[in-house]
Structures are given as C-alpha cells and as structure tokens.
Structure 1
C-alpha cells in the first residue's frame, strides 16, 4: 500500500481546481454575473466560504485518508457532455449545474469514498453556488395571489383578482416577481441546510426540517404579502409601500428564521464522535486518477473551441422592408430581440404589427431564446387562450392576450432554425444544438405578428394574409 504524501496530494488537488476553473471559466463568469445582478443570489458569494468553514469546524471528525478512485470520473464525462450541450444552446441551468457537479465529482475521485463520505455535506453544499429557482417564480406568484385574496376576504376587505393584479377599494396591487417569495425560499434553504447539518444526525430529521423550511417559507411569504396589502388598505396607502416595505420584509424573514431554528433546536441530536478510519478497498494510484481527470478537462476544453460562434454587431442591421409595410420602432409592443444579426419591426396600413429578428445559432453576445426577449410583456398581459395551427405543414402558435384594463391582443409567432420550425423555446434550443453540431451554415429566426383584436374576432383570411406577409421579410 502506497504511503500518503500530503504535499503531492495538495499540489495535485490545486492543479485539478485550477484546470476546472480554466475549462469552466465562461460558466463561472455567467454565474457571478447573476449573483451580482440579482438580490436573490447575492448569498452565493458566501457558499465556498461556508463550505470551507464547515470543513474546519468538523475537522476532528475527519479521520480517513485520501484513497483516489476512478469511478466518479465516469460521471464527470457525462457532466462535461451535458455542460457542452448547455454551452452550445446557451442554457444556463445545464451549464451551471453540470459545472458544479463536475467539480464535486472530481474532488470525490481524488478523495475517495471514505473521505468523501466524511466531507459529503461541505462538498454537496457547493451546489448552492448555482443560481437556480427562477422557474418557480410564476407558481409562487400564483400561490401568493391566491392566499392574499383568501386572507383579504377573511379580513373583510373586498378584493378583485385579475391575473396577478389585486384590486381593493384603496387601489391596485401587483404580485410581482419580487413578491413571489423566491428570494425568501432560496435563502431559507441555504441557511436551513447548514443548520440541519450541524443539528441533526438522523436522515428523517434532515428531511423533515428541510420540508418544513419550504412550507414555512411559502406560507410566511403569503402572510407577508397579505399584511402589506392590509397595511396599505387600512392606512390609505400611507404605510407599507415605502422604505418600510423592505424593513418589514426583512424583519418578517428574520422572525420566521428565528422561529424555525428555535423549534428545530428543540429536537437536536447529540453531536457525533470521531470514528476510526477503516479502509478495505485498494485505492487507484493518485497520479492515474489525476491524469484521467485532467484528460477529461482538456478534452472538454478542446471540444468547446470546436463550436462555431457568430460575431455579433453592436446593432443588428435592418432587414429589408417589404411592400405594404412601414418600419416602426418605439411602439407599445416591445418584444426585445435587439442583439441579433438582423431585425425589423414594422406595421401595415391596418395597424397590424410585425417582428422579424435573425440570430446566429450561437453568438459571442446575446441569444435568440433569452430572458430579455419576450414576445409580450408578461407583467402586463395574461394569456387567455392559446391555439396551435399549421401553415404549409409548419406550426404557428396563436395567443390571445388580455391586460388589466380589459384590452385584447392576438399574437401569432414561430421560431425557425435553418429549415426547422417550432413554437417551443426548448425545441428551438435543441434545433440550434443540432445545427451547431452538424456545422450548418444557417441562421435562427423569430417571426411574429400582433393583432389588436380577440382571437375569436380575427378573420382567418386576415390572419393568413399577415402570415404570408411575414414570410416575405428577410
């Protein structure tokens, strides 16, 4: 059995960390930008420091020695493949998770199963570096709106709900994304996970506490939103929506966390004692595991640079305006799509608005499917009904939209990647991945037309004519 050499091991560990950082640097930059831009994820800066502190705090319980193993590297290959697909398609969820999980598996491979088990939670805790959860905003907003309406009715305040807008005698309130409670929920999970690790030893207590954290966070946010509306209603909007809005929110968060930790501490388990380390499995040679891990990283780095990236101009060029259309910008319809190669927003003599935008399958900045590009303003318009129609055997989506003022619009749109057409953002992403892997010399496009009428009132001939006009734009 080879003798453990600390200096050599720490040098190899440092080399793996540097190699991982170099390969996944674009993803790390993307994650850090989200941390910086969103208050929901500012706690992510602290996650590596908390993991390091947890290792130091439980250092007396770490008795095993590193015994490298090759098996986790098989999963690293899968993670790097997923990361490459996410990188090609500009899907942050895939790139962020696969990058962090790749790091965890690389470290596990060098540490071995026994030592990996003893440091499992600090290693797992790195997953909170990933800015995840944005997809939960819409359902959390709906839950908050439903609960607020119910509580307001119970308190005797009349309320009318239209989508995410709540109207009371004193005014109208919007359950915006900031009111969804996502920030509260994610911060609670990050803090609660550490508390659970330091407090409990039994798995069912960990599970029960974390489920309670989720439930308490959602319920508490519903009461927070209700009380803010109630305070605004009873004070004739004198209180509840100024600086005191934020003070009240943080006070409520602190109170709920204190209550959860106080209740959770009542069921704390005795602290564990160090166990003697018993290693019965023959380890793989450290240099072999290191070389295999670095080879995977080098191959991933090389494959990343095989992907063709389109250089993006500072401003997209204006597409040719077909006969019968007038180029128009600055209208109430603001769908985005300003960071592509070509763009045209136009209107015809009947007031129908048109949008055409062309992108590279992967660009050095900007993307076809992204949070900045919305075919309608989701905060102002609500989808009342949707249909899928076929034009020359290709799909076109129809959405009937309504705002809080009772105005209606009908939106027809589709995405085209090369010769493939879809109405699904996810499918469009997959088509872009295929086009890049096959090295196709084509482009990705979005085409949309907006009518100021209800879907039922839109004559089929009018719709067909507008879609035909949309096809002429290049």
Structure 2
C-alpha cells in the first residue's frame, strides 16, 4: 500500500474526532498551553522513528477489537459530556490503529508517541487538590522560617497586610504539567536509559513544585513589603514562568549528569519503512473500528429529539414563564444559566414567597451541561448544608436540601434533577442516566429548584412553605 495513502487514511481517522480536537484546542488556549508543543511532538516522534519498526509490517488483528471498544468508550464519553474521558480515549484510539496496522514490532514507537499525546490531555489537573495542599504546607514552613506572622485556614493564607488564596490556578498544575512534559520530551529525544529517565522525570517534578512554592512565597513577601499595593499582586501570571525558566538550567545539568552516570544502549534502525508494506484490508478494518464511535455520534446528533414537557408533574399546579432577569443584586438564582431555557415563578404560601426554577438543557454541549463543573446552587454563595431529605412520607418523596448564604441573606433550597423523565437527587446518577437518554433521544434534562429565604439558624418555617407548594393538589 503506498505510503501517502497510509498517511492519508490515518489523517482521516484522526480528523474523525474533530469535536475532541476542538475541546483540546480550547484547553490548550485556556490553561494547558504546552499541549500546542507536546501533541505535534508526539506525531513527529512517531514519524521520525518509523524506520525502527520491523519491515514488512505484521498486522496485529486482535487490536482491531480493542480499537472498536475504545471508540465506543469515546462515544459514551461524548454522550455523557465527560470531556476528560473522550479526550483520553483519542490518543489510545490512534495508538490502537497503528498497532493493528503495523503489529507488535511498532509497540515501542507507538508507546512513546502515545505518552506524549496523553500529556497533551489535561489529565494532570486531577492533581490540583493535592498540589494546593502541598503548596500551602510548603509556604507555611517558609513563613515560619522567615518569621512572618501568618494565619492559615484551608487554602487561605492571611498576613497582617492582606489575604492570599492558593486557588486552583495557584496550585502549580501548569508548572507540574510543563515540567513532566519537558522531561518526557527529553527522555524520548535523548533516548536515556531507564535509570537516567527516572532521575530526569523526578528532578523535573521536584523543581516544578519548588517553582510554584517560591512563586507563592515571593508574592506573599511582596504583599508584606508593599502593603498589598504592588501591581504584581493582581497581575502575576508571567511571574511564575520567569522562575520556572530560571531553574531549567539546573534541571538540564542534573539530566546530563544522570546520562553520564547511566548511558543509554544503542538502538537499531531498520531499512525499508513498514509503511509501504501494510495490508489495505487491515487498514480498512482498523479505520472502520476506530471511526465507529464518531459515526454513531453523528447519527445520534442528527436524530430529532422529543420536545420538553410544559411542566413537571411535581409542579403541575404552578405556571412558570421565562425568567426575566436572572441575576440581580441581592437575588438568588441557580448558576445553571448555561441551560437553553430558564423558567421561573414566584408562588405565595401565605406571607412566604417561594421561588421555583427550572433550567432546561435541550441541547447539551461541553461547558453547557446539566452535570458538569458548574455549581447549580450559585456561583458566589456559601453552602452551609447539602443533604438528601424526605419532604413527604406517604408516598416517600425525596429532594436534595441545601442552606446557602448569599449576598441577600440565607436561603433554603430544595432541588433535584430530571433526566429522561426520571427524577434523582444524585448528580452522578443524573450523569449516568444521560448515557441511555442520549442514545434513545429522550426529552431534555432539567435542574429543578424551589427555594425561599429562611433564618440563619432555623429554616423550619421555610421548609413548611416549600412542602406546602410541592404537595398542593
């Protein structure tokens, strides 16, 4: 099979996952910018080492089945809007295509390239909570050594001059990911031995962590010395990268020493490229298996969906209309504004005003889904309690009960989710219900809440008002 045809088919398979590439591009543009370097390097690495694959190619037929399973896993991730799932599946699917076509002999080359592509996926953001905790602990030690008085509560560090928060963006995940990615590129490019590779990666991790600790500590010192008036306090995005760049010569020196201590073994380079010896039938089978998920996703997307019901059974006696002004000073509203429709009503129960909200997700997209990263109880609220409770015993009817403190006071909120006509108080169950709902094309998903103000310590009257609204005939 001609080399250009093989390359073209692979490109078509990769392009079939355009929606995932778009989500990765957004991540790289937003907070994972090293992906612009790492992903192309992974493809270049595979191409530059193609002569190391035994020739002629010996297809690995069993991997075609693996490719099909991975593609269906990608589809489930897309349907459930689990971005990290379908992003992670993409490099594995491309790797399965290459292994099926070129065989076991391609495993070292494919594995090296796949590692680089996986490093372009925001998997390392899972370490953010741990990195936050470690950064706070490290700065507590640095502050103790410096003698600067500080009070630490959770991720907040208060000094006499002001307050610092080690938020998600300050956890150092960007330096952590960049350091590991640079180490992986170094190991693959220099072909370091296993012992040297361990030293290269560990030193990159340690120096990346130290970079962030020094960055945060430096900001605290600047805030202390300038009474929080220095411009660096509010604009310090570039500042950490300056420190990161400054420690890279030390990392390169450590890596060079490790290579001297444990030199790598020579590698063999074959003659003719295996690209010219592949079987077109294996290429076709592997390509079909890989593209099954995207093809089914297009079919599901093109199918008409059922219209949303006018009212929920639980709220049949309440007439809701489009919420006119969702966000006003001192007013509580769900933060699930990403839904395609927001219906709202104010129901009087004696002197108590009960607010009813339905946020409808008729066409969910990444970043605008029923169950995602948004906090439905509000973007700027403090959640005092959040638990499942029964508001009726005959029959038993459950809601999720939360007490929130916001700008306008304290509020009792009863809320739940509805997916494909099924109500649930569990966000994880709602997410799982969306998989079959997305396949069968059922009615849109919804976030439903009834709420009313309550006292800071006693919400019994508020609960009675909500119960009266939900149990009215």
Give the TM-score normalised by structure 2: 0.80
Partner of 1:463: 463
**For the Cα contact (< 8 Å) 1:341–1:357, is it kept in 2?**
yes
**For the Cα contact (< 8 Å) 2:346–2:354, is it kept in 1?**
yes
Structure 2 residue 102 is matched with structure 1 residue 111 = yes
Structure 2 residue 274 is matched with structure 1 residue 272 = no
Measured after TM superposition, the shift of residue 469 of structure 1 is 3.4
RCO greater where, 1 or 2, for CA within 8 Å and sep 6 or more?
2
> Over aligned residues, Cα RMSD in angstroms?
3.9
Measured after TM superposition, the shift of residue 116 of structure 1 is 3.2
Partner of 2:425: 423
Partner of 2:288: 295
* Cα distance per residue 1:164-216 (max 9 Å; x no partner): 43332112222232212111111112111112334564435434543443344
**For the Cα contact (< 8 Å) 1:340–1:357, is it kept in 2?**
yes
Partner Cα separation in structure 1 for residue 6 and residue 120 of structure 2: 24
Partner Cα separation in structure 2 for residue 370 and residue 290 of structure 1: 37
Distance 1:28 1:466, change over 3 A: same
Measured after TM superposition, the shift of residue 412 of structure 1 is 3.6
Partner of 2:59: 68
Select which of 165, 168, 175 maps to 1:177. Answer: 168
Unpaired stretches in structure 2, ≥5 consecutive residues: 272-276
Measured after TM superposition, the shift of residue 323 of structure 1 is 7.4
Structure 2 residue 401 is matched with structure 1 residue 398 = yes
Unpaired stretches in structure 1, ≥5 consecutive residues: 279-283
SS of 1:266 mapped into structure 2: helix
Distance 1:259 1:457, change over 3 A: farther
Measured after TM superposition, the shift of residue 76 of structure 1 is 0.8
**For the Cα contact (< 8 Å) 1:352–1:451, is it kept in 2?**
yes
Measured after TM superposition, the shift of residue 41 of structure 1 is 1.5
**For the Cα contact (< 8 Å) 1:413–1:447, is it kept in 2?**
yes
Partner Cα separation in structure 2 for residue 196 and residue 154 of structure 1: 37
* Cα distance per residue 1:312-359 (max 9 Å; x no partner): 9xxxx9999947999653235454333434313555664765432112
Partner Cα separation in structure 2 for residue 56 and residue 242 of structure 1: 45
Measured after TM superposition, the shift of residue 34 of structure 1 is 2.5
Partner Cα separation in structure 1 for residue 199 and residue 425 of structure 2: 41
Structure 2 residue 220 is matched with structure 1 residue 229 = yes
Partner of 1:340: 339
Select which of 435, 438, 441 maps to 1:436. Answer: 438
* 100-109 or 193-202: bigger deviation: 193-202
Measured after TM superposition, the shift of residue 240 of structure 1 is 6.4
Distance 1:150 1:45, change over 3 A: same
Structure 2 residue 258 is matched with structure 1 residue 261 = no
Partner Cα separation in structure 2 for residue 176 and residue 286 of structure 1: 53
- Kindly tell me the number of residue pairs found equivalent between the two proteins: 451
Partner of 1:28: 21
Give the TM-score normalised by structure 1: 0.80
Select which of 311, 319, 327 maps to 1:330. Answer: 327
Partner of 1:83: 74
Select which of 8, 12, 17 maps to 1:18. Answer: 12
Measured after TM superposition, the shift of residue 148 of structure 1 is 3.1
Partner Cα separation in structure 2 for residue 454 and residue 258 of structure 1: 59
SS of 1:17 mapped into structure 2: helix
**For the Cα contact (< 8 Å) 1:104–1:123, is it kept in 2?**
yes
Measured after TM superposition, the shift of residue 138 of structure 1 is 3.8
Partner of 1:281: none
